[in-house]
Amino acid sequence: MRRLLFTNGTVFDGTGAPPAPADVVVEGDRIVAVGIGLDGDDAVDCTGRTILPGLIDSHVHLMIDGLDPLGWLHDPFSLQFYRAATSMRKTLDVGITTVRDAGGADLGVREAQRRGLVKGPRVQIAISMLSQTGGHGDPWAASGCHVPIFVPHPGRPAGVVDGTDEARRKVRELVRAGADVIKIATSGGVVSARDDPRHGHFRDAEVAVIVEEATSAGIPVMAHAAATDGIKTAVRAGVRSIEHGIFLDDEAVELMVENKAWLVPTLIAPHGVVRAAEAGAAISEHVLEKAHLVIRAHRESVRRAIEAGVRIAFGTDTGVTPHGRNLDELALLVECGLTPAQALRAATREAAQLLGTTDLGTVEPGKIADLVLVDGDLSEVDTLAERVRAVYQGGVEV
């Protein structure tokens, strides 16, 4: 098997060690050596560049590309799958080689990438978000119409459930449909029409049975949780990650630390709502008000969580914002207290640990050779996306 040598570069390995000059050798789809003075059959000159692990976005929506409510109403049903293929390519182009789709993508999307039918990041799927009636995932509108963002189909069950029996059955349906993770909404949200992100949703028993069923299937639970009460309910029940975490108080932060729960901040998401409205998207006044409401509280909560030592994994809610702009999140994480190196570790090793992908996330022997070559200084995270020069997935340049 031929050895591919990445030489003359600096390696940011994602383990916590500072960047340092080193060579990386790849055989097949695996890293086999990292060090100085290595050799190979073919060489990639990395002079002036840093070699990073493939980046991981823990919260995306591949089936949409920016907020466009009217477009979703009028687009042909199958167009979303073609859009996903384009979104996957945009994601790969900025160095993100793995994503967790937090709702929308079904088993076919995951399989299309795995089988090489489309180029894109490796995909974990939640398929549909579980929501109570009147919750973040309920598509009912005041007109009486039902206007879902993700129309149910045979591979994407509807997600509105009430009570423990309905919740248990729906988790089993999602597992049957191929879900890698179960997503629930334990609070209201921003882009949904008839709920409030400050209100907790689902009762303790409902969340407990969801976690029980997911655990029995060997998969974790992620929670859309903006409201303080919704965050606490999720963490106490054993949910693995809190998505957004907009209204954290000290008790919620302490619970997250004690239970080793992850926070996936998605700081760019409410900004995306505001920008979409400014660009002319048909965003309701109520939704826009909620976006403005949460932005300041969101940053303060993430800052509090970072100071307390809550585990942070990189995630963006991209789809709410346009694909290919994912790395804008890095600068916001730095503003909230992470160093640039910590923000990059949140997008590599930490995100890999959250997703349970132990063979990704670092540049070490034995790991899958997902690698990104970047020009210039890694500390300038606000310009990182435009300095990506090559992306390798499993040792193959993509």
Same fold, 3-53+362-397 and 55-355: no
Q: How many residues does the chain have?
A: 398
Task: Look over the chain and give the mean of its residue pLDDT values, rounded to a whole number.
Answer: 96
Percent of the chain with pLDDT over 90: 86
Alpha carbon distance 11, 23 (integer Å): 8
* Whole-number pLDDT of residue 313: 98
* Whole-number pLDDT of residue 50: 97
Cα 389 to Cα 212, 247, 330, 342, 347: the distances in Å are 44, 38, 18, 22, 18
DSSP classification of residue 260: T
* Whole-number pLDDT of residue 351: 98
H/E run at residue 341: helix 340-346
Confidence (pTM): 0.96
Q: Domain 3-53+362-397 class?
A: mainly beta
- Tokens of residue 308, six digits: 């307390």
- Tokens of residue 48, six digits: 């002036």
**Cβ contact 361:56 at 8 Å:** yes
Query: Please, which pLDDT band fits residue 227 given cuts at 50, 70 and 90?
Result: very high
Query: Please, which pLDDT band fits residue 71 given cuts at 50, 70 and 90?
Result: confident
* Whole-number pLDDT of residue 243: 98
Percent of the chain with pLDDT over 70: 100
What amino acid is encoded at 389 in this protein?
R
What amino acid is encoded at 279 in this protein?
A
* Whole-number pLDDT of residue 70: 84
pLDDT digits (tens, 9 = 90+) for 277-305: 888 888 888 888 888 889 999 999 999 99
Domain boundaries, the chain: 3-53+362-397, 55-355
Rounded to an integer, the average pLDDT of 219-228 is: 98
DSSP characters over 77-107: TTHHHHHHHHHHHHHHHTTEEEEEE-SS--H
Alpha carbon distance 84, 66 (integer Å): 12
Query: Please, which pLDDT band fits residue 135 given cuts at 50, 70 and 90?
Result: very high
pLDDT at 377 over 90: no
pLDDT digits (tens, 9 = 90+) for 156-215: 999 999 999 999 999 999 999 999 999 999 999 998 888 889 999 999 999 999 999 999
Rounded to an integer, the average pLDDT of 72-86 is: 94
pLDDT at 144 over 90: no
According to CATH, what is the number of the domain 55-355?
Answer: 3.20.20.140
**Cβ contact 202:182 at 8 Å:** no
